[in-house]
């Protein structure tokens, strides 16, 4: 576990994991009924196994070998997600299944980015993250978390926002997500570290915060991509 972090922030982060799983369960349940493909339980089972695996690896210190190249976090988190993303985009069946998830659930998922930003700030206060990775620095991802409820309610549920507005919001939020991911990578104590030398990014190498790059960030990016695919088709 990350030393020094308050227990209630750890609990808040675990609640974020539960929230994302709940949104995934709701969305996949509807998609399963719509597409008539009985894979919901298999997908959710894989998610739970993935969560337990990376919690265990973070707990045992598996990722805290900072001088190894390529970094273990790239091999065991990054590459599997790239392969998954490639499969989703290239497989017509998988993409059609995920596009059956209602837009509102894809958008409500991003509410989690607000409490995540609070957890990141708590890690910064405890010396486990550089200030650049927080909303006090160069991380503006909190904007996505703050606007997600409004976009989900007025855009997907009430239809007040037009589809081009929803597309723009998704593209902007992808940019915000890629910004913090890039900042996190170059703030970590790897041989290619670029900034955050006084207070490097070590929080994501400890359980349960390993689940931020292993689970929450990939699900957020994937939900944006699926939402964009749905909106472009509808447009």
The 10s digit of each residue's pLDDT in 1-15 is 677 778 888 999 999
Q: What is the pLDDT of residue 100?
A: 85
For helices 79-90 and 92-99, the axis angle rounded to 10 degrees is 90
The whole-number pLDDT of residue 234 equals 55
What does the pLDDT read at residue 91? 85
* Structure token digits, residue 62: 């598996």
Residue 37's pLDDT is: 57
3-state secondary structure 92-147: HHHHHHHHCCCHHHHHHHHHHHHHHHHHHHHHHHCCCCCHHHCCCCCCCCHHHHHH
Give helix 7-35 / helix 40-60 axis angle, nearest 10°: 160
What pLDDT score does 208 carry?
94
pLDDT of 180 reads 94
The pLDDT value given to residue 108: 95
Q: Distance (Å, rounded) from C-alpha 128 to C-alpha 134?
A: 12
**pLDDT on residue 162:** 87
What integer pLDDT is reported at residue 195 of this predicted model? 85
Q: Distance between terminal CA atoms of the chain?
A: 46
Residue 145 CA to residue 115 CA, distance in Å, equals 8
Q: Could you give the CA distance from residue 156 to residue 34 in angstroms, rounded to a whole number?
A: 18
Tokens representing 221 are 């990016």
Model pLDDT, residue 39: 73
The pLDDT score that the predictor gives to residue 56 is 95
- Res 186: pLDDT: 94
Count the neighbouring beta carbons within 10 Å of the beta carbon of residue 109.
26
The list of the chain residues with pLDDT below 70 reads 1, 32-38, 233-235
Please state whether the predicted TM-score (pTM) of the whole model is above 0.75.
yes
């Amino acid at each position: 576990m990350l030393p020094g972090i308050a227990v209630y922030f750890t609990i808040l982060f675990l609640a974020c994991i539960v929230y994302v799983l709940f949104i995934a369960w709701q969305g996949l349940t509807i998609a399963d009924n719509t597409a008539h493909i009985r894979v919901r339980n298999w997908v959710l089972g894989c998610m739970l196994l993935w969560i337990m695996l990376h919690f265990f690896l973070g707990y045992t210190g598996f990722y805290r070998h900072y001088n190894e190249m390529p970094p273990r976090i790239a091999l065991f988190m990054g590459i599997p997600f790239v392969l998954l993303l490639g499969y989703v985009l290239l497989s017509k069946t998988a993409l059609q299944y995920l596009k059956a998830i209602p837009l509102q659930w894809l958008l409500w998922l991003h509410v989690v980015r607000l409490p995540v930003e609070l957890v990141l700030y708590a890690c910064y206060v405890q010396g486990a993250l550089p200030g650049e990775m927080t909303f006090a620095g160069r991380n503006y991802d909190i904007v996505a978390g703050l606007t997600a409820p409004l976009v989900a309610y007025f855009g997907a549920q009430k239809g007040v926002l037009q589809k081009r507005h929803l597309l723009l919001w998704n593209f902007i939020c992808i940019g915000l997500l890629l910004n913090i991911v890039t900042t996190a990578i170059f703030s970590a104590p790897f041989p290619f570290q670029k900034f955050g030398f006084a207070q490097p990014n070590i929080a994501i190498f400890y359980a349960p915060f390993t689940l931020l790059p292993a689970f929450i960030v990939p699900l957020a990016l994937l939900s944006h991509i699926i939402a964009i695919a749905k909106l472009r088709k509808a447009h």
